[in-house]
Amino acid sequence: MRGSRARSEQAANVATGFGPGKVILLGEHGVVYGHPAIAGPLSVGVRTRGRPANRCKLEVSEDVVGARRQQLLRAFDRAAAACGRPEVSVKLESDLPMSMGLGSSGAVAVACARVLLSAAGRSTSPKAVMEVAFEMEREFHGTPSGLDHTCSGMGELILYSRKPGSETPTVRRLKSPRPLKVLVVLVGERSPTKLTVAGLRARQARWPERYSRLFDEIGRLAREGAKAIEKGDLEALGDAMTVNHGLLSALQLSSPNLDEMVHRLRQMGALGAKLTGAGGDGGAVIGLFLEPEPAVAQLTKMGVRCFGSQLAGPKTL
């Protein structure tokens, strides 16, 4: 009896997938122009569940409407085509705040790629998953660096770069001898990444020398940050993060509410703080803390939406 129920449940759920969200510790935007960046996975993310169906389709919640719905369906269609359109109906569930700069589209792409490849009976190796996920990310972001879905697909802290136009990124796993923990604050709604990246591209095309100086410096901070992580020098990493925020602000990618939260986290004892992801008029701010939980409790009491996450290093209770 138990065996037949298990078999029918297995048949009803052909496949599942998970894609974690991410935070960028250093190097967002510069990474679009070929400079390195560091990103780490969050414990929250997007889950997919696939059930047998007479055609390959995505079940989109009624809350997702208009252009966003159409874009999600187009992105799914690209991934479905790349997997040979297995006969599966895919449902999404997420505990990751969406459109906050925490890699929700990359996580959706990775979770869909895993479920589609698995339903098609193909390899679900990280390489195969990331290839299919990149198809979806191109639909979401136009010219993505590939950092978000690579971090989600690998589920590890990485130093990432990819020359514009090249298909092959350079990716290095970063090992931290110390627990590396951040506090993530959801500051507020923001414009889509595609628009923020396009606005920056227009300024960069107009004043290429000035902007390339800033991108060079952001790339240098990411390389220094990678060394600091591997040495366990969290103070140096924190300082690089705060300097990186200043450069993002110089690139007109910050806003008063993001800046205010960076200052607040530093006053609360963060070793460093910055906006994370595309930024612009809102999104998320991260603070590097030896132990974020007291600050999480204090901010939560004040009604601020935030959570702590360990990105790398030995696990602590």
Taking CB under 6 A as the rule, does residue 156 contact ligand MEV? no
User: What are the DSSP E strand ranges found in 27-98?
Assistant: 37-52, 57-59, 88-94
* Minimum gap (Å) between residue 30 Cβ and ligand MEV: 8
Residue 191 tokens, joined: 């414009």
Of 77, 95, 148, 259, which is the active-site residue? Answer: 148
Q: Long-range contacts made by residues 124-129, C-beta under 8 angstroms, separation at least 24?
A: 126/153, 126/154, 129/153
Round to whole Å and give the CA distance between 174 and 4: 45
Taking CB under 6 A as the rule, does residue 28 contact ligand MEV? yes
Taking CB under 6 A as the rule, does residue 147 contact ligand MEV? yes
Asked if residues 120 and 83 have their Cβ atoms less than 8 Å apart, the reply is: yes
* Minimum gap (Å) between residue 138 Cβ and ligand MEV: 10
Which residues in 256-285 contact ligand MEV (CB under 6 A)?
Answer: 277-278
**From candidates 193, 242, 244, 255, binder to ligand MEV by CB under 6 A:** 193
**Residue with Cβ nearer ligand MEV (129 or 278):** 278
**From candidates 94, 104, 145, 244, binder to ligand MEV by CB under 6 A:** 145
Taking CB under 6 A as the rule, does residue 197 contact ligand MEV? yes
Helix intervals (H) in the chain: 2-12, 66-82, 104-119, 126-141, 147-154, 193-206, 208-231, 234-250, 256-267, 293-301
Residue 261 tokens, joined: 């939260």
Handedness of CA 113, 186, 300, 265 (dihedral sign): positive
Taking CB under 6 A as the rule, does residue 158 contact ligand MEV? no
* Minimum gap (Å) between residue 229 Cβ and ligand MEV: 19
The footprint of ligand MEV (CB under 6 A) covers 28-29, 31-32, 101, 103, 141, 144-145, 147-148, 193, 197, 277-278
